[in-house]
Amino acid sequence: MAVKILKDKCKGCTKCIKSCPFSAIIMANNIADIGSSCTGCGVCVKVCPFGAIEKKKKKKKKLI
């Protein structure tokens, strides 16, 4: 699973940063930014009051 910040919705409230158990989120230009230590746990998705973080399933490659 991948977690994505919707930059047009992020208000820079930092709730996601405080909630991340892996310290994978930082602020960049007053917008949350997901780092490489993100495991896709989804805690940030649940705490964001603006709906600015979404969790997407990674597409699986089909084997031929």
Within 10 angstroms of residue 2's Cβ, the number of other Cβ atoms is: 12
pLDDT at 22: 96
pLDDT at 57: 74
Q: Domain 2-56 class?
A: alpha beta
| 9-29 pLDDT tens trace | 999 999 999 999 999 999 999
Domain ranges of the chain: 2-56
pLDDT at 58: 66
Interatomic CA distance for residues 64 and 57, integer angstroms: 21
Tell me if residue 16 falls in helix, strand or coil: helix
pTM: 0.80
Read out DSSP for 20-44?
Answer: -TT--EEEETTEEEE-TT-----HH
